[in-house]
Structure 1
Amino acid sequence: MRIVIAEDAAVVREGLVQLLRDRGLEVVASVGDARALLTAVAEHRPDAVVADIRMPPAHRDDGLRAALTLRERYPDLGVLLFSQYVETRYADRLATTGLSGFGYLLKERVVDVADFVDALHRVAAGGTALDPEVVSQLLSARHRHARDGLAALTAREHEVLALMAEGRTNAAIATALDVSQRSVEKHTAGIFTKLGLPRTEEGHRRVLAVLRYLGA
Structure 2
Amino acid sequence: MSVVTRVVLAEDGVLLREGLVGVLPRFGFEVVAAVGSAPELVGAVTADQPDLVVTDIRMPPHHADDGLRAAIALREQRPGLPVVVLSQYVRQEWAAALLRSGNGRGIGYLLKDRVVDIEEFVATLRVVAGGGTMLDPEVVRQLLQRPSDPLAALSNREREVLALVAEGHSNAAIARRLFVTEAAVGKHIGNIFTKLGLPPTDDTNRRVLAVLTYLRANK
Sequence identity percentage: 55
Aligned-pair distance for 1:23?
1.9
Aligned match of 1:36 in 37, 40, 53? 40
Mean Cα deviation higher: 97-106 or 23-32: 97-106
Retained in 2: the 8 A contact 1:65–1:90? no
Residue 100 of structure 1 corresponds to which residue in structure 2? 105
Tell me the amino acid that sits aligned with residue 120 of structure 1: L
Q: CA deviation at 1:67?
A: 1.2
Residues 7, 110 of structure 1: CA spacing in aligned structure 2 closer, same or farther, 3 A cutoff? closer
1:131 aligns with: 136
Q: Which residue of 2 aligns with 1:52?
A: 56
Report deviation, 1:51. 0.3
State the distance in 2 between where 1:135 and 1:99 align.
Answer: 16
CA deviation after TM superposition for structure 1 residue 22, in Å: 2.1
Cα deviation, residue 89, structure 1: 2.2
Counterpart residue number, 2:30: 26
**1:199-214 alignment, distance < 5 Å:** none
In 1, the alpha carbon distance for the partners of 2:107 and 2:95 equals 10
Query: Counterpart of 1:85?
Result: 89
- The AA in structure 1 aligned to 2:16 is V
| CA–CA separation in structure 1 for the residues paired with 2:128 and 2:91 | 19
Residue 8 of structure 1: how far off its partner (Å) = 0.2
Please give the alpha-carbon distance, in whole angstroms, between the structure 1 residues aligned to 2:19 and 2:95. Answer: 25
Structure 1 unmatched runs, 5+ = 145-216
Q: Is the 8 A contact 2:8 2:32 kept in 1?
A: yes
Counterpart for residue 19 of structure 2: 15
Residue of structure 2 aligned with 1:69, choices 73, 91, 98? 73
RMSD: 1.8
Within 5 Å, give how 1:137-152 maps onto structure 2.
137-141=142-146
Inter-partner Cα distance in structure 1 for 2:46 and 2:145: 34
The equivalent residue for 1:213 is: none
Uncovered stretches (5+) of structure 2, i.e. residues with no partner: 149-219
Q: For 1:72 and 1:11, how far apart are their aligned partners in 2?
A: 30
Displacement of 1:30 in angstroms is 0.4
More helix by percentage: 1
Contact 1:9 1:32 (8 Å CA) reproduced: yes
Q: When the two structures are superposed, what TM-score results if normalisation uses the length of structure 1?
A: 0.62
The number of aligned residues is 144
The CA distance in 2 between the partners of 1:6 and 1:111, in whole Å, is 17
* Alignment match, 2:182: none
Q: Where does residue 117 of structure 1 map in the other structure?
A: 122
Instruction: Tell me how far apart the structure 2 counterparts of residues 8 and 43 of structure 1 sit (CA, whole Å).
Output: 20
Cα distance, 1:96 vs. partner? 2.2
Partners of 1:25 and 1:96 lie apart in 2 by 27
Indicate the residue corresponding to 2:156 in structure 1.
none
Aligned 8 A contact 2:59 2:67 in 1: yes
What's the counterpart of residue 209 of structure 1?
Answer: none
